[in-house]
Amino acid sequence: MIKQKLQESFNRYLEELKELIRIPSISFPGFDKAEVSRSAHAVENLLKKIGATNLQHLIPPSSYPCVYGEIISDKTKPTILLYAHHDVQPQMREALWHSPPFEPEIRGERLYGRGSADDKAGILIHVAAVELILSTMGKESPNFKFLIEGEEESGSAGFGYLLEKHKDLLSCDAVIVADLGNFSKGEPSLTTSLRGMSAIEIEIFSTKAPLHSGSWSGPLPDPAQELCRLIASLSDNNGNILVPHFYDDIIAPTPEELDSYQKLGMTEQKFREEAGVLESTKLLVPESKICETLWRKPSLVVTAMEAGNRKQAGNVLQESAYARLGIRLAPGMNAKKATEQIIAFLQANIRHGLTLKIRTEDGAEPFTTDTSHPYFQYMAKSMEIAFNQKASFVGCGASIPGAEYFRKTFGNIPILLMGVEDPESNAHGENESLYLPDFEKTILAETLFFKELANV
């Protein structure tokens, strides 16, 4: 019955998703905040249509609104907090889109548009699944609370504040975060670990102003070369970070997790094809370590570097050099501690008396969870039925700040991470897309999970 109801309503859910995609709800400085508010009202209307009450906007210091609503059928039954986010990334290079980023378009089995997979589909998964279970089981259903964030893409700076302020309102027995994805198209996956993140800006100064390189270079150190050397000193030839004690707090994956990683069938060829790796580029780890390195090891990436101007390059000894360094943190690490360790290493290793300035950014903590709770087995079983394929437990190399915030607020309750991104979704990039068969199957899986809870 549930599957039939879903098939009858799927086109409507798809149209509701398209309407959300049409709103450019970019939560970054320099973009129109009114669009994020418009998106919040659209989400509120979706919740109202399925019978949610106590609808309200929870406003963090940034003023990007979270949308809250609830459907409480029977207080003796479990309450599930359903999380997604309605803000999106900027469109990036608009000329590279094959269709306008905020005009959803279906090509083949994929829906293209900014936010299609990350994460407006997550909102519709929750809305559709709740509507389906209510129409099927009525007051026998679990209780639901919705929390749809408005600033996830820009770092969730105020999310912890909102959870603490509204802790009683949001109290629940479990959380479902619909903001992740599947290991491959058609392969259902539950994410059990996330890397955290931090970032620092590094700037090195040598002189008061740029100088003629012929007249002054030689006696004077070049800040650009020293910056490159300093960054290179952070890691060895295999990408291992050389900062003392940087790995001390990492929680190693269990033998069961390592076994599940191996069973996923990640090959070097698959990784190369999905990442678009050039043929001559060699990986830093063997094939057997790709998943573990992506999900359970820290990494450093230079996300920006500047010394002079590429378009106006001349024979100049620059007075300064700049870089931004992105830091991915493995489960067990602490963002503040790891950032301080890297800063201390840089300060101890800069040469020639050059002036070093470092600015930090807000970080996100890594996350890992214990999958022994029955809710994980219920969700895995529901996914297997919906996809007709056994669900995998996977990790994710990216960050979702809300996951660890939920744990800090509610304690050791089940936090289930799932979603509809896949390697072809290109979330955050141009031509972001959603694989529609997996969208439909994920709605079905979540509905079956709710049915399982109602029957317990």
pLDDT at 90: 96
Determine how β-strand 66-71 pairs with β-strand 367-368: unpaired
Give the residue with greater pLDDT, 363 vs 317: 317
pLDDT tens-digit readout, 148-195: 999 999 989 899 999 999 999 999 999 999 999 999 999 999 999 999
pLDDT at 347: 98
Q: What is the dihedral of CA 84, 407, 297, 244, to 10 degrees?
A: 140
pTM for the whole structure: 0.89
Amino acid (1-letter code) at residue 239 = G
pLDDT tens-digit readout, 189-217: 999 999 999 999 999 999 999 999 999 99
pLDDT at 151: 96
pLDDT at 155: 85
**Alpha-carbon distance 351 to 383, whole Å?**
56
**Domain 196-250+297-360 in this protein, CATH class:** alpha beta
- Give the fold, CATH level 3, of 2-194+366-455: Aminopeptidase (3.40.630)
For residue 451, the SS3 value is: helix
**Alpha-carbon distance 36 to 115, whole Å?**
13
Q: Among candidates 231, 95, 192, 72, which has minimal Cα distance to 144?
A: 72
Confidence class for position 370, pLDDT limits 50, 70, 90? confident
pLDDT tens-digit readout, 11-59: 999 999 999 999 999 999 999 999 999 999 999 999 999 999 999 999 9
CB-based burial label for 206 (10 Å; 0-12, 13-18, 19+): buried
pLDDT tens-digit readout, 403-441: 999 999 999 999 999 999 999 999 999 999 999 999 999
**Alpha-carbon distance 169 to 157, whole Å?**
20
pLDDT at 110: 98
Neighbour count for residue 273 (Cβ, 10 Å)? 11
Amino acid (1-letter code) at residue 54 = N
For residue 65, the SS3 value is: coil
Confidence class for position 108, pLDDT limits 50, 70, 90? very high
pLDDT at 386: 98
User: How far is Cα of residue 352 from the mean position of the Cα atoms in its chain?
Assistant: 40
Round the average pLDDT of the chain to a whole number and report it. 96
pLDDT at 92: 93
Give the residue with greater pLDDT, 285 vs 312: 285
pLDDT at 389: 95
Q: Is the pLDDT of residue 363 over 90?
A: no
Sequence ranges of the domains in the chain: 2-194+366-455, 196-250+297-360
Q: Of all residues in the chain, what percent carry a pLDDT higher than 90? A: 92
For residue 347, the SS3 value is: helix
